[in-house]
């Protein structure tokens, strides 16, 4: 399943921990020159160190991707250091929960800025790099909440439904340029985000970040004639369909 990504440049957002870290390690293992972005410089430095210790290539920049200037800083550094982009994995995300009638508007603004605006802007910048080369892959990490709804998660569900809307529209826009766009919709994964959203879940029953990294590697292993719109991956102990 592992496709050789040697010489390819992969940008992973939210790469300092959890799912993003696992994806970064997996793509570096496949030979990609990884560029990591997240808010925490310390976390990014640790992940970059792990990649280099395994013989991979990694650069990073700490930035607030909920802000246009943060996104511009990351892509400006990417252009300067790498000059191209083959894979973008939009993984950066925030999880906040609470009853709709009590949910603070400030929290809603923050959630949408991180989960929707940041992803939108990263897609925009990636398209500008990929379209001239007529190749590339954009993978957006959504959630099962992108197609379902749960009590106390109206704001989070709104953000992930928006991710799905962006993904579907961009896939149609990108196809004529030779660029593929997919979404991965994970259920419960053992991360700090899931712990904040669903502290009631037994960690032993949750998926692992590596499961999502494997889904990313699967998408990148496909031939140029194949396209996958979305991968819905749930924890085995949850209800099917």
pLDDT at residue 2 above 70? no
What's the average model confidence in pLDDT over 216-241? Answer: 89
Place of tokens 């800083």: 73
Average pLDDT over residues 221-234: 94
Domain borders along the chain are 9-233
Please tell me whether residue 86 adopts helix, strand or coil conformation: coil
Nearest residue to 145 (alpha-carbon basis) of 126, 159, 131: 159
| pLDDT reading at 1 higher than 80 | no
Instruction: Kindly state the average pLDDT of the residues 152-166.
Output: 97
List C-alpha distances in Å: 163 to 16, 133, 139, 158: 21, 25, 11, 9
Distance of CA 31 to CAs 7, 61, 143, 221, 231, Å? 7, 20, 27, 13, 24
CATH 3.40.50.720 applies to domain 9-233: yes
pLDDT value, residue 20? 96
- Active-site annotation holder among 60, 150, 156, 232: 156
Q: Is 156 a catalytic residue?
A: yes
Q: Secondary structure of the chain: what % helix, strand, coil (to 5)?
A: 50, 15, 35
Q: Do you know the residue count of the chain?
A: 241
- Identify the band that residue 62 occupies on the pLDDT scale cut at 50, 70 and 90: very high
Instruction: State pTM to two decimals.
Output: 0.93
pLDDT of residue 199: 77
Q: What is the mean pLDDT of the chain?
A: 93
- 147-163 as b/e, with b when 16 or more CB fall inside 10 Å? eeeeebbbbbbbbbbbb
pLDDT of residue 205: 80
């Amino acid at each position: 399943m592992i496709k050789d990504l040697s010489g390819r440049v992969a940008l992973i957002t939210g790469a300092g921990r959890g799912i993003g870290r696992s994806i970064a390690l997996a793509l570096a293992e496949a030979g990609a020159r990884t560029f990591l972005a997240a808010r925490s410089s310390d976390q990014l430095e640790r992940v970059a160190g792990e990649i280099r210790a395994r013989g991979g290539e990694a650069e990073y920049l700490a930035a607030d991707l909920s802000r246009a200037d943060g996104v511009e800083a990351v892509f400006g550094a990417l252009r300067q250091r790498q000059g191209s982009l083959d894979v973008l994995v939009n993984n950066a995300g925030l999880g906040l929960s609470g009853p709709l009638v009590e949910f603070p508007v400030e929290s809603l603004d923050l959630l949408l800025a991180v989960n929707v605006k940041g992803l939108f802007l990263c897609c925009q910048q990636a398209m500008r790099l990929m379209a001239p080369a007529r190749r590339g892959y954009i993978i957006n990490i959504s959630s099962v909440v992108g197609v379902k709804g749960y009590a106390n998660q109206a704001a989070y569900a709104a953000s992930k439904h928006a991710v799905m809307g962006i993904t579907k529209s961009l896939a149609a826009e990108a196809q004529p340029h030779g660029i593929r766009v997919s979404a991965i919709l994970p259920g419960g994964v053992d991360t700090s985000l899931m712990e904040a959203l669903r502290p009631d879940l037994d960690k032993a029953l949750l998926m692992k970040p590596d499961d999502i990294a494997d889904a990313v590697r699967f998408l990148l292993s496909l031939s140029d004639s194949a396209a996958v719109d979305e991968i819905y991956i749930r924890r085995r102990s949850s209800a099917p369909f």
